[in-house]
Structure 1
Amino acid sequence: MKVVSALLLCALCFLGLDAQCPEPNTLKDAEGKKICARMFEDSNYYYEQSCGGEYIDAYPNDDVPIIPWRWNNRISSLVVNKMCSLTVWSRVKKNGSKRKFSSGIVYRLKDVQQGLLGSWENDISAYYCVC
């Protein structure tokens, strides 16, 4: 009986390790302030395991032509709040390819085409978020 209980407890612990993308209309920071978009370092083939790892928040009217160096080309999934849009660029100072994301969840930027052969996975270097 103790073995079964231990296995059940372990299974529940592992379920908690799976990341889950927040719903767009629930995006708020720790102080309850509205977030325009949340960008995550991890994504996964299984959508319920996307939006994992560390994240960076974009607030309404954030205009970031040069993303912080540790986030440059590191974003793999994102969530944009309802009534907001996030515009991203593939190069700093808003150069390179450009893409606008409307409200919703992008589980895998690898699935979002950029040009003929590329994708947006790990290729965001600047952004502008508006609500």
Structure 2
Amino acid sequence: MNKWLLTIALLFAVTDLDGTLTKGDTLFNATPFPGVQDSLKEYDEVLYLSCKIWIARPPQTWWLEFHEFPEGESYAIGTIENWRNTGGGCLDEMPKCEFLKAYPVQFDVGISEDEQSWAAYECAGIPTIIKVDR
């Protein structure tokens, strides 16, 4: 029962009041990074599974732009750090996996530089996982 309540609460955390998905929301911080919606509006769907929330400009946005990711795919993005990140607590892969399984979008691509996100993508059956090494 508690698992279902958590899943429902997490789904509400990443949807607008009308039920549409809010691009750029983080899984563990329901407040979008500044400017994320505008900078990622050409993508169908982007979900952050970030452990870090103090970011001056979303490095995920830079990474997608730099690698010219095609439109029309859905991306789940794990922890991608920049020099201003200070660290912070990460949940392990199972809460992320359960959330991805319950999420109303099946993501095509998982981008990760941390083992928790990688394991969560595998667990959730995301077909393409990209490991980012820094």
Q: Which has the higher strand share?
A: 1
Q: Which has the higher helix share?
A: 2
Scaled to the shorter chain, the TM-score interval is: under 0.3
Relative to the length of structure 1, the TM-score reads: 0.25
Max radius of gyration: which structure?
1
Between the two structures, name the one with larger relative contact order (CA 8 Å, sep ≥ 6).
1
